[in-house]
């Protein structure tokens, strides 16, 4: 790994869920996605106004699901596109929306700052066990009957997203290295706002001769955000979600709001099953890795409260020990 960036300006890495841009119950059109992107970026730009470097890594669950559906519907007319290439296409499209919105919001506030989207490859193990045991939820929610038909007719792998319905699942290998990491470091060091690792990055593996080849999978963007946050010595790794804080016994009568937890508590609660893999689990795993590899603080917050989660008491802080 290259030498970590050292600067007096703190950097916040923000993991933005694809569901924030294509929300459940909406039509998923580009017009709607742009409207939602503007709402998300409005809050994020407030961090920039207060002097933070900001790096954005976005998810793409709903969007990649739409893309796969388009490929399937058009398969009788044009050649199909592999999942890995769809992730690359998706990075470009969503990166364009986010970058343009950032550019416009910064201009409104007379903030002189460059914005850049990096189409990002992420190195994985070609023998990762998830490639034969798909776990990553993508696309829209299905009824039980729709799930059964998708498995029978389309050959999809479908699993229940606890308490929410059924969804398609695809392989999700662990990210090992960001191929364009050094380029991203240079941009951040020069105060460029970077959008990178969209959808978790384009999954690739290294062949024996050192060349790269693609993998048909989707990487968890929260784990990729952790890799990048540690590499650039970010101050915070912020996971933007649909809730303001973490809860124990979520949606149960005895649920408990968590304002701050330690690294050891996060490990304990994860082991107890408080944060399922279909929802908060990957975010907590990512937060743990970030802290174990030198990160100062991870934050779980809603989009609306992102500024206050950094500078005030909003969100849930995950820290190495209770003295921080």
Residues 19 and 166 in one domain: no
254 annotated active-site: no
Does residue 123 form part of some domain? yes
Co-location of 242 and 220 in the same domain: yes
The answer on 217 and 75 residing in a single domain is: yes
CB atoms within 10 A of CB 62: 24
**Two tokens, residue 101:** 């919105």
Give yes or no: 25 in active site: no
Query: Which of 114, 146, 170 marks a domain boundary?
Result: 170
- Select which of 221, 289, 307, 317 is catalytic: 221
Residues near 257 by Cβ (< 8 Å), separated by ≥ 6? Answer: 245, 246, 247
Q: What is the pLDDT of residue 28?
A: 83
How high is the pLDDT of residue 311? Answer: 87
Total domains, the chain = 2
Query: In terms of domains, do 56 and 204 share one?
Result: yes
Tokens of 256: 């408990």
Residues in the chain where the model's pLDDT stays below 70 = 1-8, 278, 322-324
**Tokens standing for residue 159:** 């699993």
Active site residue 281: no
> Same domain, yes or no, for 17 and 161?
no
The active-site residue, picked from 105, 136, 245, 289, is: 136
258 belongs to a structural domain: yes
Query: CATH number for the domain including 281?
Result: 3.40.1160.10
| Pair 229, 154 in one domain | no
Could you confirm whether 211 is annotated as catalytic? no
Phi, psi (deg, nearest 5) at residue 216: -85, 90
Tell me whether residue 286 is in a domain. Answer: yes
- For the entire predicted model, the pTM comes to 0.87
Any catalytic annotation for residue 177? no
Could you tell me if 219 and 200 are in contact, meaning their C-beta atoms sit under 8 angstroms apart?
A: yes
What is residue 3's predicted lDDT score, i.e. its pLDDT?
Answer: 45
Do 21 and 122 fall within a single domain? yes
Q: Which domain holds residue 141?
A: 136-170
Domain-located, residue 2: no
Catalytic residue among 65, 197, 278, 283: 283
Question: What's the number of CA atoms in the CB half-sphere (13 Å) around residue 232?
Answer: 35
Structure tokens at 318: 């995950």
d(CA 117, CA 107): 17
In the set 10, 19, 165, 177, the catalytic residue is 19
| Count, residues in the chain | 324
What pLDDT is attached to residue 62? 85
Tens digits of per-residue pLDDT, 196-248? 999 999 999 999 999 999 999 999 999 999 999 998 889 899 999 888 899 99
Q: Do residues 119 and 90 both lie within one domain?
A: yes
pLDDT tens string 165-206 = 898 888 999 999 999 999 999 999 898 999 999 999 999 999
164 and 261 housed in the same domain? no
- Give the model's pLDDT for residue 130: 92
Please state, in angstroms and rounded to a whole number, the distance separating the CA atoms of residues 248 and 274.
Answer: 6
CA distances from 47 to 11, 55, 94 (A): 10, 11, 21
pLDDT of residue 323: 56
Q: How far is CA 316 from the centre of its chain?
A: 18
Catalytic residue among 17, 18, 95, 181: 18
Specify the pLDDT at position 278.
65
Cα maximum dimension of the chain: 61
User: How many whole angstroms separate alpha carbon 116 and alpha carbon 95?
Assistant: 9
Residues 121 and 215 in one domain: yes
């Amino acid at each position: 790994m290259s030498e970590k960036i050292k600067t007096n300006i703190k950097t916040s890495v923000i993991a933005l869920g694809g569901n924030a841009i294509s929300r459940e119950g909406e039509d998923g059109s580009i017009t709607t996605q742009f409207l939602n992107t503007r709402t998300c970026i409005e809050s994020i730009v407030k961090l920039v106004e207060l002097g933070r470097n900001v790096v954005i890594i976005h998810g793409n669950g709903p969007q990649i699901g739409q893309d796969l559906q388009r490929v399937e519907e058009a398969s009788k007319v044009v050649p199909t596109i592999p999942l890995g290439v769809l992730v690359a296409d998706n990075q470009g499209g969503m990166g364009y929306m986010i970058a343009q919105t950032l550019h416009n919001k910064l201009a409104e506030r007379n903030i002189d700052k460059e914005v850049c989207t990096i189409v990002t490859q992420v190195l994985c193990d070609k023998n990762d066990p998830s490639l034969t045991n798909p776990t990553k939820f993508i696309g829209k929610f299905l009824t039980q009957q729709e799930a059964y038909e998708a498995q029978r007719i389309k050959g999809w792998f479908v699993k229940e997203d606890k308490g929410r319905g059924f969804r398609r699942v695809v392989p999700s290998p662990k990210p090992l290295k960001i191929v364009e990491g050094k380029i991203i470091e240079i941009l951040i060091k020069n105060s460029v706002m970077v959008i990178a690792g969209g959808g978790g990055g384009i999954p690739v593996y290294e062949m024996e001769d050192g060349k790269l080849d693609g993998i048909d999978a989707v990487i968890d963007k929260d784990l990729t955000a952790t890799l990048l946050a540690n590499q650039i010595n970010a101050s915070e790794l912020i996971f933007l979600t649909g809730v303001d804080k973490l809860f124990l016994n979520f949606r149960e009568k005895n649920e408990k709001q968590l304002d701050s937890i330690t690294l050891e508590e996060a490990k304990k609660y994860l082991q107890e099953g408080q944060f399922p893999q279909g929802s908060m689990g990957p975010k907590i795993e990512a937060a743990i890795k970030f802290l174990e590899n030198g990160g100062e603080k991870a934050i779980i917050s809603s989009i609306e409260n992102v500024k206050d989660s950094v500078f005030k008491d909003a969100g849930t802080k995950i820290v190495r020990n209770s003295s921080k």
